[in-house]
Chain A
Amino acid sequence: NAGVTQTPKFQVLKTGQSMTLQCAQDMNHEYMSWYRQDPGMGLRLIHYSVGAGITDQGEVPNGYNVSRSTTEDFPLRLLSAAPSQTSVYFCASSYGANTEAFFGQGTRLTVV
């Protein structure tokens, strides 16, 4: 099993560009989440989904969009990249609430 796969691993964007970070899981998990990790801030929740067709905002949703058309995929869209969005992004999935979350290997995004 591949687990949680994130692409790309690294990305450099110019301010104002848009892009989509991809996340796919093959464990048939209902819960999927996106986090950003900045030094000294821990992991902050951007958006999450409790099943296909259902998404909700986390702590820091501004500037990001998500959709969940299938159980497997949960892409994160940056609408107009800003330097403040420079971060490491992690996607995670779990069977349900209060179960082990499996994280992807992360995407290191730099916005210049």
Chain B
Amino acid sequence: QQPVQSPQAVILREGEDAVINCSSSKALYSVHWYRQKHGEAPVFLMILLKGGEQKGHDKISASFNEKKQQSSLYLTASQLSYSGTYFCGTEIDYGQNFVFGPGTRLSVLP
């Protein structure tokens, strides 16, 4: 079952922060995050595993709350290059039933 992402779209000014949420109705084993720029292929950001730690990558980090079956992606001091559509992908078990969410469109303006 496809995870739910919120918000559907967000517009920011350069330097502002954003949070993108991903939630599932099923218990999750892992959450994957990808970013896709218009007309390009999705690019990997990070994977969070059940029982694992919060991950970080430059000014982009993510958390995984297993009890709530939710993950959040945090974008700090956003840059123009952060614009794109962010997808979460979820697994209910190792290598099982991997499903992407519908995406969150992020636009960063100067």
Contact = CB atoms under 8 A, between A and B. Distances in A.
B102 A100 contact: no
A50 interface: yes
User: What does DSSP make chain B's interface, helix, strand, loop or mixed?
Assistant: strand
Contacts of B99: 45, 59
A47 B78 CA distance: 36
Interface residues of A, number: 21
Given A40-B102, A41-B102, A42-B102, A97 B91 contact: yes
Nearest to B40: A105
B79 interface: no
Interface string B34-56: 10000011111001010000000
B95 A97 contact: yes
A43 interface: yes
A99 interface: yes
Interface residues of B, number: 22
Nearest to A33: B98
A34 interface: no
Contact of B87 (A43, A45, A59, A96): A43
B30 interface: yes
Nearest to B46: A100
A100 B47 CA distance: 8
Contacts of B41: 90, 103-106
A107 B56 CA distance: 32
Interface in B50-106: 87, 89, 91, 94-95, 98-103
Given A40-B102, A98-B91, A105-B40, 5 more contacts: A44-B100, A45-B98, A99-B47, A101-B34, A106-B41
22 contacts: A35-B100, A41-B102, A42-B100, A42-B101, A42-B102, A43-B89, A44-B100, A45-B100, A50-B95, A96-B95, A97-B94, A98-B49, A98-B94, A98-B95, A99-B47, A101-B42, A101-B44, A102-B44, A103-B42, A103-B43, A105-B40, A105-B41
